[in-house]
Every structure is written in structure tokens, then in C-alpha cells.
Amino acid sequence: MKKIGGNDSKVSIRQLEIFRSIVNAGSFSKATNLTHLSQPTLSQTMANLERNLNTQLIIRAKKKTIGLTPAGEFWLLKSIEILNLVQAAQATHNSHFLENTLNINLGAPPSIQGRIEGLIARIGVEIPSITSMNFARFEDSTQVAEALFSHKINFGILSSENISGQRGSLKIIDLYSEERLWAVPRSIPTSDVIESSRMAKNINSHPALTKYVSTPALATWNVGTVNWYRDKLPFSESYFKATTHFSALQIVSTGLASCHIPATLIANLPKSVKQNLNFFDIDGAGRSICLAFPKHFSSSRVFMDFVGKCQSTLRQEYDLIRQEVLLELDLILIK
């Protein structure tokens, strides 16, 4: 690569990768999780890159967030272009010369895991050119998205809201949308739950109806939850906060609050949690689930064969799970 800045240093692929990770994370501290590098190492790498380019790229704000200078905006776009080209070249190389060594590294949040892992494993072994599969565990869709950005995985199944702004570097395929259900402690009589929601007041003084569990990390989902409670149960406050749907349900199962969950999560619930809950159909928008992978993998025939089979299989599986859940629960609609 041509020397920049009139010295012996060069702009490296690694510097561009770290720069993009810092911007994606939104701060140096959050980028440590993406890169597995210390904050001083990240700062030194950026200082070297800025020195090589003889210009400032990142604006360090007082609240530990970052902004970009005009040069930073330019080099962010160039970083994406360059890294995508390198990754596309590697994928083409693998497709043409290493077709028998394709490895699948897959990630999904707990609410989507369960039976899908066995289905995907079966798809993998039916494609001879896939030589290994690794199933990584993450706490939520945000972590799955971060793992895709940092190339720790090459195939993710996650909530679309966590990745909608990354269509420039990732191929995103919509799978399905699922209902939002209201989970309430079973200790509260169903008639009281319905009456409270329709009257918009806590007429029977059940403490669990005065508190709900919000999920701030799931931004779009949480907005729908907050708006619903404000409309249907204005007397209920966001007392508990959880990072995942499953954590929210565990709180509700103790009889202390209520929460919203995606319908298919029920299929993965242990009996010890499910037996303490009742679920209601609130006729509200839930979440959209998608497949995502780096765009350069689109050039691999084997990988795209795998993706196509996963897409059709997971859509069919969702339909089956949804039918099982709705049949098991015999949901009461609350409008």
C-alpha cells in the first residue's frame, strides 16, 4: 500500500478493522468487547492511524462517546469498502480453491435457540463441503450483531431491529414476524387481569399488576411495551429492568410483575417457569427475526446453499412452533 503522510508507516487492514469496530460500538470502552483488545491498545492504534493520515478521525466526547470528523466519515466509508473487498476476495478464494473447508460459525440469542440448533446441525451435515459447525451462545441479539461485526461468527439469527442499519456490509434475509404476548403471574385470576386492562385501573389491587418488567436493551421492542402499558395499565410502572426476555419472565414467574414476550419463546421455557404464568394475546406488533451474514459470503455457492435450506427450514419450524404454542395456551385476546 502506498505510504501516507510522508513517513515509513502504512495504513494497515488491522487499523481499519479497529477503526470500524470503534465506530460501530460507539465508544472506545464498548469496542473492547468487540475486539478483545484493551482500551489503551485501541487508543494507541487510532493514534497511529491518525498520525499516518496526518489528520484527526475521531472526536472524543466528554461522555465517553465518539463523533467523526469529515475525514473520519470519509475513512469510515473507505474502511467498509476496503474490508468488504478483502473479505469478498477471501470468500471467492475459499469458494474456488478451498470449497471443502467451509466452516459455519453460528450465533443466536436464547429466545431463538432450542430446536433450531438441531435443525441447522442436520442441514450442515447434509452438505458435504461444510467441514465444521460451531454454535456460539449469546445473551441477546445485540451480542449476536456485535459478533457478526467483529467476524467472530459468519451466520447470525437475530432480531431485525438490532441490525437494520448494517445492510451495507451484511446480507439480511427476513424470516418471520411473531406476536407479542402479555405474561402475568398465574396467581392473579384471569377475570381480574382482563378487567384491569379494560378498565385501565387496578381495581382489584393486585401488586403484580402495578409493576412491569421493561427491556431497555431491546430498543424497538421496549418502545412498544412502554406505550402499551401507558395505554392499557397506566397505573403500572416500569419497576424492573431486564436485559433479555427470559430474564423478564423469571421475574414475572415469582409473582412480582408482568411483562411482554415474543410468542415462540414459550416453546423454550422450562416447566418450572411456565407453570407460574398465564399468557394473553394483546394483538400487538412483536418482533421480526432475520438471518444475517457478511455480504462477501454470497459468492460461496456452498454457503448460499446452506443459507437457502436454513431459510426454508426455519420458516417452517416457526409455523409449527407458533401453532403448538397457540394451541397449548388457548390465548385470550385483550384489545
Residue 291: per-residue pLDDT = 94
Mean pLDDT of 209-220: 88
Q: How confident is the model at residue 83 (pLDDT cuts 50, 70, 90)?
A: confident
What does the pLDDT average to over 203-225? 86
Whole-number pLDDT of residue 100:
59
pLDDT higher at 185 or 160: 185
What pLDDT does residue 324 have? 80
Residue ranges of the domains in the chain?
A: 13-86, 100-176+289-321, 178-287
Is the domain covering 13-86 a CATH 1.10.10.10 domain? yes
Specify the pLDDT at position 165.
64
Residue 157 or residue 270, greater confidence: 157
Distance of CA 170 to the CA centre of its chain: 13
Query: Is-same-fold flag (13-86; 100-176+289-321)?
Result: no
Indicate whether 62 pLDDT > 80. Answer: no
The residue type at 301: R
Q: Average pLDDT of 4-32? A: 80
Identify which has the larger pLDDT, 24 or 253: 253
Could you tell me which of 213, 211, 212, 262 has the C-alpha nearest to residue 241?
A: 213
Q: What is the mean pLDDT of residues 40-44?
A: 91
Q: Which amino acid is at 208?
A: A
- Asked whether 302 and 129 are in contact (CB, 8 A), the reply is yes
The predicted model gives 193-208 an average pLDDT of 81
Average pLDDT, integer, range 227-246? 91
- Please state whether beta strands 58-60 and 66-68 pair in parallel, antiparallel, or not at all (unpaired): antiparallel
**pLDDT score of 8 more than 60:** no
Q: Which CATH number fits domain 178-287: 3.40.190.10, 3.90.850.10, 3.40.50.970, 3.40.47.10?
A: 3.40.190.10
Q: What is the pLDDT of residues 273-292, one digit of tens each?
A: 889 999 998 877 788 899 99
Torsion sign (Cα): 210, 213, 216, 218: negative
The mean per-residue pLDDT over the stretch 92-115 comes to 74
pLDDT for 326 beyond 60: yes
Average pLDDT for 45-50: 92
Among 24-28, 152-156, 226-230, 328-332, name the one with the lowest average pLDDT.
Answer: 328-332
Confidence bin at 56 (pLDDT 50/70/90): very high
Cα atoms in the Cβ-side hemisphere of radius 13 Å centred on 171: 15
Q: In whole numbers, what is the pLDDT of the chain averaged over residues?
A: 85
- Give the pLDDT of residue 34: 78
With beta carbons less than 8 A apart as the criterion, state whether 271 and 249 touch.
no
The interaxial angle of helices 39-53 and 28-35, nearest 10 deg, is: 100
Q: How far apart (Å, rounded) are the C-alpha atoms in residues 19 and 58? A: 9
Q: What is the mean pLDDT of residues 195-201?
A: 81
Which pLDDT value is given to residue 331? 77
Q: From 3.40.50.150, 3.40.50.2000, 3.40.190.10, 3.40.50.300, which CATH number describes the 100-176+289-321 domain?
A: 3.40.190.10
Query: Which is more confident, 226 or 199?
Result: 226
